[in-house]
Amino acid sequence: MHKANLNLLPTLKVLLETRNISRAAELLHLSQPSISKQLGQLRSEFGDELLVREGQRWLLTPRAEALAAQLADSLGALERLYEAPEFAPERCERVFRLASSDYVAQHILPDICAALAKAAPRAALEYSLWDKRLLPQLWQSELDMVSTITELVPDQIRGLHQGEDRLVVLMGRHHPLAGKAPTLEEYLAWPHLQVSGGGDKDSPVEQVLAPLGLSRRWFARVPFFQAAVEVLLRTDCLMTTPAHIAWQLSREHALSFCDLPFTTRVQQYHLLWHQRHHLDPAHRWFRELAYPFLRDHLQFTLGESRKQLASGGSQPG
């Protein structure tokens, strides 16, 4: 089977367009003898004269005329392979996949959905609860992005930093410790509640207590913040949680929060995605849409929680 010499196609295209060897040589930055040699090769390849001299002009053979139309389409398609893909939100029908905690689902996701529906009404969003153990396997996931707490960002994971927060103690306003700063002994004397879903909100406490040979007494672990709120309202449990979340929840429910009786490392919030998505225009558009809502909510509630703690009060007015 004869193997076509594809390197000759650009020369063929220019020859068929210009019908002039001198002009083709000029456009291709080659010598006239070189163009003449390539024309000879093309004639052999196609078994046709292609260009026939008539006085001072070159005429196309019927085969050459047919090739001219086919070549324009074929090379145009090849050139389009190198064009950057366009993204039009109003025509997008993609399903974007985001994961985080149920807190984000309740307090931030509705704003993201409203913005998505307005800008890309034919797109869709699938939200799932994030499991912090899955970050190293993000490349295997169908997720586009995850908003989470993490200290270490694995290789091949890209992201945007949303901000940082510290941990506080949240409890019902009926709790004996409400409105005061507990001592370490008081903090450990009461049963504790943990929200297991989302990012890592507990290891900073363990890093402080474990070297001292101390630990908390767990009453319950629940996957959702809303469930945790109901437990706090009906028991004497304490829950250690980021300050911005404590402020938001105590604003909506009969809850109180205060500083921990010890210092822990701050928690870093990121919007993360795998490197393979980084240059995708649709992905870039969606993360630029979602990120400001995540960042701005964190920064606002963080600022309010700090003002609340600085004022000495533990209940939003």
Tell whether the model's pLDDT for residue 315 goes beyond 60.
no
Amino acid sitting at position 92: C
Rounded Cα distance between 164 and 152, Å, is 14
Residue 77: predicted pLDDT: 67
Residue 79, CA distances (Å) to 25, 62, 88 in order = 22, 26, 21
Structure tokens at 97: 């996949």
pLDDT tier at 314 (50, 70, 90 boundaries)? Answer: low
In the chain, beta strands by DSSP E: 51-54, 57-60, 95-100, 124-129, 145-149, 157-165, 167-172, 192-195, 218-222, 238-242, 255-259, 267-274
pLDDT, tens digit, 9 for 90 and up, residues 14-46:
888 888 888 888 888 888 888 889 888 888 888
CATH 3.30.70.360 fits 6-82, yes or no: no
Higher-pLDDT residue of 34, 246: 246
Average pLDDT over residues 147-176: 91
Which residue ranges make up each domain of the chain?
Answer: 6-82, 89-163+269-303, 164-267
Domain 89-163+269-303 shares a fold with domain 164-267: yes
pLDDT, tens digit, 9 for 90 and up, residues 76-130:
666 666 666 678 999 999 999 999 999 999 999 999 999 999 999 999 999 999 8
CATH topology (fold) of 89-163+269-303: D-Maltodextrin-Binding Protein; domain 2 (3.40.190)
Tell whether the model's pLDDT for residue 316 goes beyond 50.
no
Average pLDDT over residues 145-150: 92
Structure tokens at 98: 């985001």
User: Is pTM, for the whole model, over 0.85?
Assistant: no
pLDDT, tens digit, 9 for 90 and up, residues 250-301:
999 999 999 999 999 999 999 999 888 888 899 999 999 999 999 999 999 9
Residue 173: predicted pLDDT: 96
**Assigned architecture for domain 164-267:** 3-Layer(aba) Sandwich (3.40)
Structure tokens at 247: 């402020």
